């Protein structure tokens, strides 16, 4: 029994090293100077450290702070829009009776199987017709519909007891009032899980901004970092420091809301 326990902890530690060391290495790399980061053999831990690399990135390209701001604004808007539309649709599918409910719900679920590659080209053409190229609208508007989000909210609403709604209805509350005042506050755990997922999706998205945004001052941080890599190719310490501006906020959010991440995946993924 003892030997087995030791083996389990040894494996856990080994995997932790494998999954986490690229992060540690890149933070250490981001603190080196331009010469020592290219040295062979590479020195993994090599003081003196240069934390001012992080300031240099921020100042090296006047666009860097703009990209960070664009990413935050876009992610916040996307999340807000999705929370509203997914909870509205999820509630209707979970609790209300209307003609076509099952068909529309299954149609929604079926679209989860449609690869985004199929809708990419036609949607670009549609956005071009709308005159939406080089704006944030193609990154926000299609996201109003989110099959995963609708499914997740519907599944969660189904688990809530009906007592509160019945009580509100006896008091004469309308469907809207019940949805807004009674059900949404109860759905907070699912809303938090959905918000984190969709924040991550928007914050990390590369392909969407790559296709739709052309002007560097409109770039989001992931696209900006790719642009930055092209400009500062020999300054790996700056590229790594820049990348940390994207990675670290997400890792912190994950660390704080870990419970919701796990719950959201098992709620939205498995019970299909």
Partner 1 sequence: MRPSGTGTRGAGRPAPLVWFRRARTREILTAYVLIAPHMLALSVFTFFAMGFAFYLGFHRYDLLSPPTFAGARNFVRIFTDPDFHIALRNTIYYTAVVVPIQTALALFYAVLLNQPVRLRTFFRAAFYAPSVTASIVISLVFIWLYAKQGIFNYLLSKLGLPASIDWLGNPATALPAIMMMNIWSTAPTFMVVFLAALQDIPDSLLEAAAIDGANAWQRFTRVTLPLLRPSIFFVVVMGTIGCLQVFDQIYIMTRGGPLKSTMTLNYLIYSEAFENFRMGYAAALSLILFVLILLLTVIQKRYIDVEVQY
By CB under 8 A, the residues from 148 to 207 that bind partner 1 are 150, 166, 169-170, 174-176, 179, 200, 203-204, 206-207
SS (H, E, C) 209-235: HHHHCCCHHHCCHHHHHHHHHHHCCCC
Nearer to partner 1, 25 or 49 (CB): 25
Nearer to partner 1, 9 or 65 (CB): 9
Closest distance to partner 1 from the beta carbon of 231 (Å): 13
Closest distance to partner 1 from the beta carbon of 68 (Å): 13
x/- mask, partner 1, residues 61-100, rule CB under 8 A, reads -----------------------xxx-xx-xxx--xxxx-
Structure tokens at 229: 């890599």
Report if residue 6 touches partner 1, rule: CB under 8 A.
Answer: no
Report if residue 131 touches partner 1, rule: CB under 8 A.
Answer: no
Written as one string, the DSSP assignment of 17-37 is HHHHHHHHHHHHHHTS-TTGG
Tell me the C-alpha distance between 145 and 32, whole Å. Answer: 45
Half-sphere exposure of 35 (CA within 13 A, CB side): 2
The answer to whether residues 165 and 182 touch, using CB atoms and an 8 Å cutoff, is yes
Instruction: Please count the other Cβ atoms lying within 10 Å of the Cβ belonging to residue 269.
Output: 11
Applying CB under 8 A, among 121, 159, 185, 231 the residue interacting with partner 1 is 121
Alpha carbon dihedral 154, 159, 160, 163, in 10-degree steps, equals 120
Nearer to partner 1, 49 or 261 (CB): 261
At residue 245, φ and ψ (nearest 5 deg) are -65, -25
Closest distance to partner 1 from the beta carbon of 235 (Å): 11
Give the count of residues interacting with partner 1 (CB under 8 A).
98
Report if residue 208 touches partner 1, rule: CB under 8 A.
Answer: no
Report if residue 103 touches partner 1, rule: CB under 8 A.
Answer: no
């Amino acid at each position: 029994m003892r030997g087995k326990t030791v083996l389990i902890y040894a494996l856990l530690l080994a995997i932790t090293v494998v999954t986490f060391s690229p992060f540690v290495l890149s933070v250490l790399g981001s603190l080196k100077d331009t010469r020592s980061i290219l040295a062979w053999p590479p020195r993994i831990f090599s003081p003196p450290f240069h934390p001012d690399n992080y300031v240099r990135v921020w100042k090296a390209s006047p666009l860097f702070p703009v990209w960070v701001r664009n990413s935050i604004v876009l992610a916040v808007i996307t999340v807000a829009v999705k929370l509203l539309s997914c909870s509205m649709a999820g509630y209707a599918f979970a609790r209300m009776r209307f003609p076509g409910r099952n068909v529309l719900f299954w149609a929604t679920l079926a679209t989860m199987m449609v690869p985004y590659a199929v809708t990419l080209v036609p949607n670009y053409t549609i956005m071009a017709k709308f005159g939406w190229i080089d704006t944030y609208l193609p990154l926000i508007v299609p996201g109003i519909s989110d099959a995963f989000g609708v499914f997740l909210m519907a599944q969660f609403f189904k688990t809530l007891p009906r007592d509160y709604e019945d009580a509100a209805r006896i008091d004469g509350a309308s469907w809207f009032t019940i949805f807004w005042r009674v059900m949404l506050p109860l759905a907070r755990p699912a809303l938090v899980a959905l918000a984190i997922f969709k924040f991550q999706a928007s914050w990390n998205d590369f392909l969407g901004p790559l296709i739709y945004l052309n002007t560097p001052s409109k770039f989001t941080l992931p696209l900006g970092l790719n642009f930055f890599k092209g400009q500062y190719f020999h300054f790996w310490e700056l590229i790594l420091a820049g990348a940390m501006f994207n990675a670290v906020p997400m890792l912190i959010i994950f660390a704080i809301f870990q419970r919701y991440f796990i719950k959201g995946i098992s709620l939205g993924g498995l019970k299909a």
